[in-house]
Amino acid sequence: MERFEGCLVGGAVGDALGAPVEFTRLEFAQVSGLQPWGGHPAGSFTDDTQMTIATAEGLLRAHRAGADPADGVWERYLRWYARQSEPGYARAPDSTCLAALEGGGFARAARNDSKGCGGVMRIAPVGLAHYGDPPVAFDLGCRIAGLTHGHPTGRLAAGCLAEIVARVTGGSALDEAIAKTRVRLTVECEGAETLAALDRAVGMAEVGAEPAEVAIAVAADPVKGAGWVAEECLAVAVAAALAHPDDYRAGVLAAVNIDGDRDSTGAVAGGLLGAMLGLGAVPAEWDAAVEDRDRLLALARELHVSFG
């Protein structure tokens, strides 16, 4: 149970830490704690966590109905899309997700070539739901990311994260979880880009590199920084967890103190570290302040009861 709670709350905290500085370079804004942003109080999260919640709710809805998980998740994404006009609800929503959901209708593979991080940032609940069968988590993670992101890397990076989360939730060490997931990427005909980023993160972590250094190494555009696309976001988050495998605070701060998409790298790293270490590893002051904490905990418990 504690790993489920840690994953959802930890991801939301990482998102909230990075939100105030999402579009600010590291040299101008180092993060050490939660801060207000965009008229929202400290602890408020972005679309990353909103869509993570929608993923969890969709998985649960489909499980109760005996339906296809992708259909259940798609329906919740459409609800998220419909609420964007509500005052205070829109939290810098991902443009690719909005465009993919605009037409409504039934769940379908996205007709775009986007590999933005909007697929990987929301996928952790898939790993929780299928921690007993990590290869299923990989496949479903790819499918659910593919509802909005059509590029193979956008899908495969999400599947990779879902499997890693599944394995660490089940008790595997992070390095073992990465190694086993890596094997899957080697047999995917379109997995080279994701595999290269993951290997870069692991290799640099092995020689003591911090996530900020990994971010520079994997960034396609050094001016924009890293994390805006799926494989970069995955690489930075994995690097943060490898650099600080026993310290949620240090790991998530390392993930947001980069140049790039700092809320998404924080959200993914926070969810991964939370799944590894459990809710108790999240600093009490951050745990208490994060938005919708009770809802996140309730979802974690329902996922555990339904899929545990």
One-letter-per-residue 3-state SS of 187-221: HCCCCHHHHHHHHHHHHHHHCCCCHHHHHHHHCCC
Query: Would you say 11 and 271 are in contact if contact means Cβ atoms under 8 Å apart?
Result: yes
Provide the terminal-to-terminal Cα distance of the chain, rounded to the nearest Å.
9
Looking at every residue in the chain, the average pLDDT score rounds to: 96
- Chain segment 107-159, per-residue pLDDT in tens: 889 999 999 999 999 999 999 999 999 999 999 999 999 999 999 999 999 99
- Chain segment 208-235, per-residue pLDDT in tens: 999 999 999 999 888 889 999 999 999 9
Longest dimension (CA), the chain: 50
Tokens of 227: 């994390």
Angle at 289 between CA 285 and CA 290, to 5 degrees: 120
Domains in the chain, CATH or no CATH each: 2-22+44-84+94-102+113-307 (1.10.4080.10)
Q: What pLDDT score does 101 carry?
A: 96
Low-confidence winner among 176-180, 188-192, 271-275, 279-283 (lowest mean pLDDT): 188-192
Quick one: which of 237, 70, 222 has its CA closest to 164? Answer: 237
Overall average pLDDT of the 72-86 stretch: 97
Query: Would you say 52 and 9 are in contact if contact means Cβ atoms under 8 Å apart?
Result: no
Q: Is the pLDDT of residue 189 over 90?
A: no
Query: Would you say 251 and 244 are in contact if contact means Cβ atoms under 8 Å apart?
Result: yes
256 alpha-carbon distance from chain centroid: 13
For residue 28, the 8-state DSSP code is G
Quick one: which of 202, 268, 247 has its CA closest to 255? Answer: 268
196: phi then psi, degrees, rounded to nearest 5: -65, -40
